[in-house]
Amino acid sequence: MTRPLLDELDRRLIGALHLAPRATWDDFGEILAADASTLKRRYDRLHEARMVRVIGQADWGVHSTAMPVHVFLDITGESPLAVLHRLRDLPHLQLLAQISGDYPLYAVVHAPSEAATSEAIDRMFSVPGVRRVNALPALSTLRRGITWDPQFLTDTERAELLKLTGTRPEGTATATPPAKPLSEAERGVVAQLLQDGRASAASIARTADLATSTAHRVVRRVLDEGWVKPRLEIVSEWLGFRTAFILRLRVAPGATPEVMRRIDRLPQTRLAAHVASDMSVLATGLVADRSALALFVDNELASIPGLLGVSVAVMLAEPRRYWLDRELTTGLGAFHAPRLL
């Protein structure tokens, strides 16, 4: 597959889709001062090239009663990529990566229950080549990748898009189920929006055999309740962001909430989590290259009070992120959406 060549308008469109994944083409056209039909054709081209895809980020409570677990794996007698390939078939794996440092592999397990979490981690021990598993349960997660912004837009354009969507800070993620079980219609809409975050109510109505008016009402409820949040996924490297990283931070007693808030405000951050470990804050992020990572560590990170120690690892390969397989040569692949409770 030929990697698409991007011009300035392509990059601005991608920036706009990050902020408002369900905005109409007319809205995008007005804010970006571009023809709506041109923008749609460009999106279709990028989508067909498997460079971009709008999926749905499920609220944790609709697919799990447990918090995710961040897992670092040591290996023996095998290459990291060989073991990584075997891990791909295990259930409930949201993320898989080869990383630098003492533990060559990193994964995120988010199973539907604590029992399923324990079983999923237990199965990792039986994978040939795995020597040691270091599991760090998340205690709270302040930011997830949906809020990362490639910074391709002006401040005015960004403000207009956020105004259009009514986007609010995501806040702490929890595995709290909806107050009432989802109806059959709501479950069907959630399942479709997970696969296509831009799916229209009319197309959902046809697929789910719902009246169009019912589909409009249910789609609005699903989005308003936050059961699904549309989310743009990209091949980051094709956009020029070639260095993903993981930080593990040792924090002074009592300083964790403020450190996480400071990490959350940095544009390079994709995730900030409080984990059960002596290195109590785990963060992931994305920058252009390793020189930019050095500047990030020496400048932004160094200015945060309360840090007692920092461990930095580079993601050398990331074949799955947020349930979505991805390859540098072929682009975005299969989406392993979590099953609804």
pLDDT tens digit string along 210-224? 899 999 999 999 999
pTM for the predicted model, two decimal places? 0.93
Per residue, the 3-state secondary structure of the chain, as one string, reads: CCCCCCCHHHHHHHHHHHHCCCCCHHHHHHHHCCCHHHHHHHHHHHHHCCCEEEEEEECHHHHCCCCCEEEEEEECCCCHHHHHHHHCCCCCEEEEEEECCCCCEEEEECCCCHHHHHHHHHHHHCCCCEEEEEEEEEEEEEECHHHCCCCCCCHHHHHHHHHHHCCCCCCCECCCCCCCCCCHHHHHHHHHHHHCCCCCHHHHHHHHCCCHHHHHHHHHHHHHCCCEEEEEEECHHHHCCCEEEEEEEEECCCCHHHHHHHHHCCCCEEEEEEECCCCCEEEEEEECCHHHHHHHHHHHHHHCCCEEEEEEEEEEEEEEECCEEEECCCEEEEECCCCCC
Tell me the range of 25-34, 145-154, 324-333 where mean pLDDT is highest: 25-34
Asked if residue 322 has pLDDT above 90, the reply is yes
**Nearest-angstrom CA–CA distance, 92 and 108:** 8
Summarize the confidence of residues 123-135 as an average pLDDT: 95
pLDDT (tens digit per residue) in 137-186: 999 988 666 778 899 999 999 999 988 876 555 667 788 889 899 999 99
- What pLDDT is stored for residue 168 in this prediction? 53
pLDDT (tens digit per residue) in 224-243: 999 999 999 999 999 999 99
- What pLDDT is stored for residue 142 in this prediction? 82
Q: What percent of the chain has pLDDT over 90?
A: 86
Across the chain, which distance is largest between two alpha carbons, in Å?
A: 59
